[in-house]
Amino acid sequence: MAKYVYFFGEGKAEGNGGMKDVLGGKGAGLAEMTNAALPVPPGFTISTETCREYYRAGNRVPAEVETQMQQALKQLQRASGQQLGDAANPLLVSVRSGAKFSMPGMMDTILNLGLNDKTVEGLARRTQNPRFAYDSYRRLIQMFGSVVLEIPKSEFEKVFDGKKHQRKVRLDTDLTAADLQQVIAGYKKVVKQHSKHDFPQDALEQLTMARDAVFRSWFNDRAHHYRRMNNISDDLGTAVNVQAMVFGNLGDTSGTGVGFTRNPATGDKVFYGEFLMNAQGEDVVAGIRTPLPIAELHKVMPEVFVQLRDITTRLEQHYRDMQDFEFTIQEGRLYMLQTRNGKRTGRAALRVATDMVHEGLIKKEEALFRVDANQVYELLFPRFDPKKLNALEPLATGLPASPGAAVGQVVFTAEQAVAWTHANKGPVLLVRAETTPEDIRGMEVAAGILTSRGGMTSHAAVVTRGMGKCCVAGASAITVDEHAKMLRAGGQRFGEGDWISIDGSTGAIYAGQVPTIPADPNDPLLKSFMAWAEPYRKLGVRANADVPRDARAARSFGAEGIGLCRTEHMFFGEGKIEHMRAMILAEGEKQRRAALKKLLPLQRKDFAGIFDAMDGFPVTIRTLDPPLHEFLPPREELMLDLERLRAASGPAKRKATTAIRAKYADYAITDAAGLEKLLGRVQELHEVNPMLGLRGCRLGILYPEITEMQVRAIFEAAVQVAKKGKTVKPEIMIPLVATPKEFALQAAIVHQVAAEVLGEAKLKISYMVGTMIELPRAALVAGEIAKEAQFFSFGTNDLTQTTFGFSRDDIGKILPVYLAQGVLKQDPFASIDQTGVGQLVQMATASGRASRADLKVGICGEHGGDPASVGFFHRTGLNYVSCSPYRVLTARLAAAQAGAAEASGGEAGRTA
């Protein structure tokens, strides 16, 4: 018979720490701590399989679960010496979710379960604290009402606030036991009114209902969204932990706290955390009262502090990783409620991993996996320019909850953050009194988060650290009026859209836009860590860079070449775009060639700069790729301007003409006829689906003179730099090839022009000509293409677009629904679709190498900087990935992890 329920308590658990799949993270942790003889309140865990059965059976648990739960309950009653529903000595339990992977605050929890009109009296008598008993009971009704019965929280708040108002008190604690009894009566009315039933007095019924509500909460919106963001499968399900309650709010010898064995923001080896006396756990996490630093506990209860330090140190040794723990002190006695590997910032991850190697706790190859490759990226976030900061006075200072520097426009709601971001209004800073799980979408898009309440372990702090996003929390000196949309700080007022800057490393808040400077890639900690990683890396890492500045940055991060230099970006500069436009507007080849002649020296200079920066490393240069209309004004704008100019008469006409002349000065347009001609050309170039239109090598085949000019510029630059004694390795890459012949036509131009230029210069420079594989057809005929092409570089952005039939520009409306419905597990433009697009990558690599054994194969799409994708490319046997310069370290670490995983027989970055 299947085992669904696992008891823990009395120094022994049916489960253990290795059973996260079955018990969830929390349940496994409780079992493990119980087995380690730590002071854990007894309880039982209902397995994740039960959750899956619950959904399979149409929201019902198997009958067997009820039976096993009854047995476990009996054990629990024995262990606690209390009976559920017993009027004299009632057992109270908490009911909490706990999935395999931590999803903080995403699912539901119910505390104080087991209280009813009778047991509350028993509790009052036993604790000799009627106020505590009634408060616990009203909390139960409120949580049960909102979580299990889905009654809006505000309904309960109305009753509670009404009572406070009536009693003219400010603090919750100012309400007396009698007041709370009246609140309870009010709450019960709310329950009856909304659910058409009385609040259940039967404790077992409460337990059953609460258990099922936790199962249901697995699919609530927040949880679903969180899993999507964190690539957690919907199929896992959550376990339910039922545990005897201990109370941190039984008076001044009770308390509760959370902590970390090391600082989760910096990684420093200090005991770190917060506590509140006479409080329940939710008071700490919710950030409603600002808690005390954990060091203060030493003063308040020295023995308990020493016991806690001892226990948590043992836990860290046991788990061989930094622990994030929760505890409660009930009337002087310490209970451990939870422990798990703590979330941490990138810097902290690096520090902890490095320190633990030095402490002999873990090995170097283990340390590699203690830093998420994406977190290395976070280390490269800009920080405020210290010189500028010297001259600035912070408006206020909050807690440095998640490091980095953020500059943005103030918004007061998550919805606003999302709306402004979608409208491309520039970066926003989400400013809230405190954040809740409902705010998660807004937090995701914001440049940073600022809260006026809550501590280092408040929702805002925990979530932003997970995101690697800058956060200043609990800045109590500021006031946030979300209703009036007003932030008051340092005597100034900031409305929606006003700019502020926050420093997540110091907690400082500044008015306006403070200049930032990039991070230091030569950080010694980072350097030593990367040095451990390097031997495991097989995959080369290059960077995508279009200008010498980016090329130099890429080198500084350890890029081994340029994998993609997009030549079109070079045309947008001052003094260039006008020649580009003249080329596009040319009537016939002759005019076009004249314009190209003017572009030649400008391109040559750009290429020379890049060759110079990449001395000795290969530089892959892609010939012109985008459709030509991208260089001209938008069609709709021209149509409207022409209409306006024509419709105007008299003085309005003169004014309109002046405006048009100014606006189109680059095109030397003076009247409607000129505007019409320009519009005519734009109309000619207009395409219904530009992504599938006249671009890439198609341009070079229709206008070979463009390719000729670009290749000449490349080789003239190569000659220039080579003559200075530097090594130059040009790799010319032909984009958007679908057939071997397209490649052959363009490659012929490359070879011819190269021979001309090198012949004139009497110089030998070895170079390669290759192609992007970015269309399904190219992948399908890769074997033929490789007969001519010396290298492949997968353009996985375009390949994703055509393989899925998704336009990157238009997927915005579809993607959220597809993620929510589980059609897609992740954005295929962020992490490569290994099943579909990846299949083409594998096929093309295999057939390309079958034609040409030494074919060099790389990838230069966005996926080159995504750790999971890098793992896939490693397994596919590519030679290198190329990513944006700031992603180079991430790619290097991900590649090393893939290599190390392979060496140990596992793998990294595999997705469903």
* Chain positions contacting a copy of itself, by CB under 8 A: 635-636, 639-640, 643-644, 647-648, 687-694, 698, 701-702, 736, 738-739, 741-742, 745, 774-777, 780-781, 798, 801-807, 809-810, 813-814, 817-818, 821-824, 833, 835-837, 839-840
| Smallest distance from a copy of itself to CB 635, Å | 7
Position 743, amino acid: F
In the complex with a copy of itself, the residue whose CB is nearer, 497 or 776, is 776
Residue closer to a copy of itself, measured from CB, 119 or 845: 845
The active-site residue, picked from 860, 863, 874, 883, is 860
Q: Closest CB to a copy of itself among 355 and 705?
A: 705
Distance CA 388, CA 260 (A): 34
User: CA 435 → CA 15, 73, 154, 267, 291, distances in Å?
Assistant: 35, 36, 17, 25, 17
User: Which of these, 4, 113, 106, lies nearest to 62 by C-alpha position?
Assistant: 4
Given the residues 225, 459, 629, 874, select the one marked as catalytic.
Answer: 459
The neighbour count for residue 811, using CB atoms within 10 Å, is 18
**Three-state DSSP class for 299?**
helix
- Please report the DSSP string for 119-149 in residue order: HHHHHHHHHT-HHHHHHHHHHHHHHIIIIIS
Shortest distance (Å) from residue 620 CB to a copy of itself: 21
| Minimum gap (Å) between residue 632 Cβ and a copy of itself | 16
> What whole-number distance in Å separates Cα of residue 15 and Cα of residue 7?
8
Cβ closest to a copy of itself, residue 433 vs residue 815: 815
Instruction: Select 357 or 628, whichever has its Cβ closest to a copy of itself.
Output: 628
CB of 577 to a copy of itself, least distance (A): 22
Q: Helices 203-217 and 48-56 sit at what angle, rounded to 10 degrees?
A: 80
Q: Sign (positive/negative) of CA torsion 180, 181, 183, 184?
A: positive
Query: Which CB atom, from 794 or from 880, has the smaller least distance to a copy of itself?
Result: 794
Supply φ then ψ for residue 252, to 5 degrees: -75, -15
**Residue 64 structure tokens:** 């067997």
Q: Which is nearer to a copy of itself, 146 or 801 (CB)?
A: 801
743's tokens: 């490649």
Helix (H, G, I), strand (E, B) or coil at 543: strand
Nearest alpha carbon to residue 245 among 125, 98, 127: 127
Q: To the nearest whole angstrom, how small is the minimum distance from the Cβ of residue 671 to a copy of itself?
A: 18
Task: Name which of 190 and 737 has its Cβ closer to a copy of itself.
Answer: 737
Structure tokens at 827: 């954005």
Question: Crossing angle of helices 48-56/20-35, nearest 10°?
Answer: 150
Q: How far is the CB of 859 from a copy of itself (least distance, A)?
A: 18
**Alpha helix stretches (DSSP H) within 767-814:** 776-780, 782-785, 796-804
DSSP state string for 58-112 = TS---HHHHHHHHHHHHHHHHHHT-BTT-SSSB--EEEEEEESS--TTTS-EEEE
Residue 162 phi/psi, 5-degree rounding, is: -60, -40
Between 556 and 657, whose beta carbon lies closer to a copy of itself?
Answer: 657
Which is nearer to a copy of itself, 297 or 738 (by Cβ)? 738
Of 745 and 763, the one with the shorter C-beta distance to a copy of itself is: 745
In whole angstroms, what is the distance from residue 15 CA to residue 34 CA?
A: 10
Residue 821 CB, nearest distance to a copy of itself (Å)? 6
Say whether 422 is catalytic.
no
Per DSSP, the three-state class of 407 is strand
What distances in angstroms separate CA 379 from CA 373, 626, 886, one per listed residue? 11, 33, 10
Tell me if residue 584 falls in helix, strand or coil: helix
Which of 219, 804 has the CB closer to a copy of itself? 804
Sign of CA pseudo-dihedral 36, 40, 43, 48: negative
- Residue 702 identity (one-letter amino acid): L
Q: By C-beta, is 640 or 903 nearer to a copy of itself? A: 640
In DSSP notation, 211-245 reads HHHHHHHTTSHHHHHHHHHTT--TTS-EEEEEEE-
Minimal distance, residue 640 CB to a copy of itself, in Å: 5
Provide the minimum distance between the beta carbon of 837 and a copy of itself in the complex, in angstroms, as a whole number: 7
* Number of neighbouring beta carbons within 10 Å of residue 88: 13
Contact criterion met (CB below 8 Å) for 180 and 138: yes
Residue 84 in contact with residue 114, Cβ under 8 Å?
yes
**C-alpha distance from residue 630 to each of 121, 260, 627, 863 (Å):** 76, 53, 6, 24
**Checking phi first, is residue 596 left (phi over 0); if not, alpha (psi -120 to 50) or beta?**
alpha
- Token pair 């775009």 is found at 577
Cβ-contact 292, 275 below 8 angstroms: yes
Is 459 catalytic? The answer is yes
State the DSSP string of 464-512: HHHHT-EEEE--TTSEEETTTTEEEETTEEEETT-EEEEETTT-EEEES
Paired with 509 in beta bridges are 396, 502
Q: Which residue do the tokens 């996985």 mark?
A: 796
Hey, what are 425's tokens?
């209004």
Q: Which residues on adjacent β-strands are paired with residue 566?
A: 622
Nearest to 40 by CA among 29, 49, 48: 29
How near is the Cβ of 587 to a copy of itself at its closest, in Å?
16
Indicate which residues carry an active-site annotation. Answer: 459, 860
